[in-house]
Amino acid sequence: MEGVFIQTLVSGLLIGFLYALIAVGLTMIFGMMDIVNFAHGDYLMVAMYFSFWFFALFGMDPLYSLPAVTLILFGLGILTYYLLIKPIINAPMLSQIFVTFGVLIFLRGLATFLWKVDYRMIPQTVLSGNIQLGDVYIGIPQLTAAAGAIICNGLVLWFLKKTRLGMALEAVAEDKEAARLMGINSDRMFALAWGIGIATVGVAGALLTSFYYVFPEVGANFGLIAFVVVALGGFGSVPGAFAAGIIVGLVEVLSGFLIGPQFKFMFVLILYLAVVFIRPQGLLGKK
Amino acid sequence: MKKGLIALIIFLGALVAFPLIFQDPFPRHTLIMIMLYAAMGIGWNIIGGYTGQVSFGNAAFFGVGAYATAIMLVNFGITPWLGMLVGCVFSVALAIIVGYPCFRLQGHYFAIATIAVGEIMLLVFTNWEYAGAAVGIYMPILPESFMNFEFHTSKLPYYYIILVIFVAAIGVCWFFERSRLGYYCRAIKEDPDGARSLGINIQRYKMIAFSISAIITSICGTFYAQYVLYIHPTSTMDLMMSIQLCIICLIGGLGKLYGPVIGAFVFIPLTELTRVYLGSEGQGVDLMIYSMLIIILAIWRPQGLWAIFTKGTAK
């Protein structure tokens, strides 16, 4: 019993890191420009399909195609910004919601049209296998994904806090007008935020493909979980998203363990409601 | 205004005459679906379009209406008409329970909260054995009668029932638009702080608008349950259904009486036609077309197609 419990905690922790990585791009874009990307989970789906097809067509393992997938998603993020987000940056919130929702529907429709609703999975990857620590088994793909998520989140944080470009990005988030007077092109910074925000989802998708099914709706639950993580961590807070990702991962597995696996997602959603009602600014968010 | 009234009478006359001219099941079915979605769209428009509270959880009311009807009919043999009433009561209760905490949230927070509530409802019904869980509920086949709300030989009675519901929804929305409540709701959408400073109880009017929205949607749920005679969680409460209601309103025009009507007349035939002509090969094509349509509309014409008919000026 105790072994199962520890096993549960470990798997919650591992998936939590990945949730944090998925959420980091969402919180970054929100923090910078006050736009919620409802299609966030569906970019994850796109990344997973790219990973899958790199494997199916060229035999490339998801781990090796990760840089390529990340780069493609980076480009997709920039493209999304210039094509769709720039025109609505000052539009009423209703328009903003509908545009990113439109992207969500479009990506799901496209995936359904191109690849049908089949579930696809890569049967054997270079990471397949387990390691055993006492009674606890840890899947190597999950472990790699968690490690990758920690590294990637660390890189994003380092970029934002320690590099000139990252600081310029934060300056625009802080005060667009003042940043403009300092000679920072806010337009380019927004594009960069979208590029990085979507690229992090690319990394997450590539890591996820090693141990998870790919199907057109795969982004739905991950996208919702990302909202919960962002709300819990505080909209716009990167360290908050990191802490919240782990909490959400643990809540998910614990409610699955204690109450029933079919209800684990429900408790994640209840967590969101509890957070926005009781502490709308989240754990580390600014009000 | 007089012109508008004449147009409305001609439009309704055409709807009344339609099934008498087209007697095949397919055109009748298409028009039934159009009116069903137009009525639900009107329901969504009252909270989303007029009051500006984007709800992605309205399908929950549809589901509550459908399930209340089905459970009462299957387990207690109670007529669906009473089930419709009970569904409305439960839907309003749900609207109040959800609305009370959620309406304090703004913008994105509210929209995501409604998604969360909708998904929780979906999960509850998917795991609730009494309500058929994931399998759903098959309605018992009863003799055809108005009281039983079942008609097997022809779609005609269903057609006229949904026509009445549809016209009633238009009527409710017409009164809402002109009532004090309607003005308050638009004020809440345009400038919540200003509305509050004028002494409008924002919470209260949002709740009333949400309850009206819930009632209309719930009645549509009852109709759907009796029309299809089989319901399950994903056919009645899916997030995609809530999204479709928003799409319908956005296409036609947010906060416009005939917005959802136009939206449904564009949306439903396209869905049905892609299904018929492209079959399973074309799965997803309709979604791609709408999504492009709503992105273009949201960027260039947030007033929707209605504005094109009425030469509406850009905001």
pLDDT at B313 over 50: no
Return the biggest CA–CA distance within chain B: 58
Cross-strand bridge partners of residue B150: B145
Q: Is residue B268 part of a domain?
A: no
Out of B112, B250, B287, whose CB is closest to A98? B250
A192-235 confidence digits (pLDDT tens): 999 999 999 999 999 999 889 999 989 988 999 999 999 888 88
**Separation CA B234–CA B239 (nearest Å):** 9
pLDDT at B314 over 50: no
A104-133 confidence digits (pLDDT tens): 999 999 999 898 888 888 887 777 888 887
- In this prediction, residues B77-105 reach a mean pLDDT of 91
pLDDT at A76 over 90: yes
Within 8 A of B247 by CB-CB distance, chain A residues are 105
Residue B70: both structure tokens together: 């089905």
Q: Is residue B106 part of a domain?
A: yes
Residue with tokens 């969360």: B116
A235-261 confidence digits (pLDDT tens): 888 888 999 999 999 999 999 888 888
Cβ distance B299 to B305 under 8 Å? no
pLDDT at A72 over 90: yes
Q: What's the pLDDT at A128?
A: 80
- In this prediction, residues A74-90 reach a mean pLDDT of 92
Note the Cα A18 to chain centre separation in Å.
8
Q: What's the pLDDT at B283?
A: 79
Cross-strand bridge partners of residue B231: B137
Within 8 A of A115 by CB-CB distance, chain B residues are none
Looking at this protein, which amino acid is placed at residue A141? P
**Separation CA B299–CA A91 (nearest Å):** 8
The Cα of B19 is separated from the nearest Cα of chain A by a number of Å equal to 33
Cβ distance A83 to A20 under 8 Å? no
Q: What's the pLDDT at A1?
A: 63
Predicted ipTM of the assembly: 0.84
**Separation CA B261–CA B166 (nearest Å):** 9
B54 and A CB contact within 8 Å: yes
Q: Given an 8 Å threshold on Cβ–Cβ distance, is A113 in contact with B282?
A: yes
Q: What's the pLDDT at B87?
A: 94
**Separation CA A55–CA A59 (nearest Å):** 4
Q: What's the pLDDT at A287?
A: 52
pLDDT > 90 in chain A, percent: 40
Out of A99, A270, A276, whose CB is closest to B105? A276
* Least confidently predicted of B116-125, B194-203, B241-250, B280-289: B280-289
pLDDT at B131 over 60: yes
Q: What's the pLDDT at B85?
A: 94
Mean residue pLDDT of chain A comes to: 88
**Separation CA A195–CA A188 (nearest Å):** 10
Show the domain range for B166: 32-239
In chain A, residues 267-286 whose CB comes closer than 8 Å to chain B: 269-270, 272-273, 276-277, 280
Cα nearest neighbour of B107 on chain A: A93
pLDDT at B315 over 60: no
pLDDT > 90 in chain B, percent: 36
The residues near B74 (Cβ < 8 Å, ≥ 6 apart) are: B137, B139, B140
Within 8 A of A215 by CB-CB distance, chain B residues are none
A261 and B CB contact within 8 Å: no
pLDDT at A3 over 80: no
Cα nearest neighbour of A232 on chain B: B109
Q: How does residue B152 score in pLDDT terms, banded at 50, 70 and 90?
A: confident
Structural domains of chain B, count:
1
pLDDT at B312 over 50: no
Within 8 A of A88 by CB-CB distance, chain B residues are 298-299
Domain A2-278 sits in CATH at: 1.10.3470
Q: Is residue B5 part of a domain?
A: no
The Cα of B200 is separated from the nearest Cα of chain A by a number of Å equal to 22
B57 and A CB contact within 8 Å: no
- In this prediction, residues B264-271 reach a mean pLDDT of 88
B226-243 confidence digits (pLDDT tens): 999 999 888 888 888 898
Q: How does residue B54 score in pLDDT terms, banded at 50, 70 and 90?
A: confident
Looking at this protein, which amino acid is placed at residue A116? K
A3 and B CB contact within 8 Å: no
Q: Is residue B16 part of a domain?
A: no
pLDDT at B249 over 80: yes
Q: What's the pLDDT at A260?
A: 83
Q: Is residue B278 part of a domain?
A: no
A89 and B CB contact within 8 Å: no
Q: Is residue B100 part of a domain?
A: yes
* Domain boundaries along the sequence of chain A: 2-278
B302 and A CB contact within 8 Å: yes
Distances (CA, A) of B191 to A38, A202, A280, B100, B183: 25, 39, 22, 20, 12
DSSP-assigned states of every residue in B210-270: HHHHHHHHHHHHHHHHHHHSEE-HHHHH-HHHHHHHHHHHHHH-TT-TTHHHHHHHHHHHH
**Separation CA A45–CA B171 (nearest Å):** 43
Q: How does residue A276 score in pLDDT terms, banded at 50, 70 and 90?
A: confident
DSSP state of B145: B
Out of B116, B126, B292, whose CB is closest to A106? B292
DSSP-assigned states of every residue in B87-143: HHHHHHHHHHHHHHHHTTS-HHHHHHHHHHHHHHHHHHHHH-GGGTTTT-EEPP---
B271-308 confidence digits (pLDDT tens): 888 777 776 677 788 888 888 888 888 887 766 666 66
Out of B111, B119, B291, whose CB is closest to A97? B111
* Least confidently predicted of B47-51, B128-132, B188-192, B278-282: B278-282
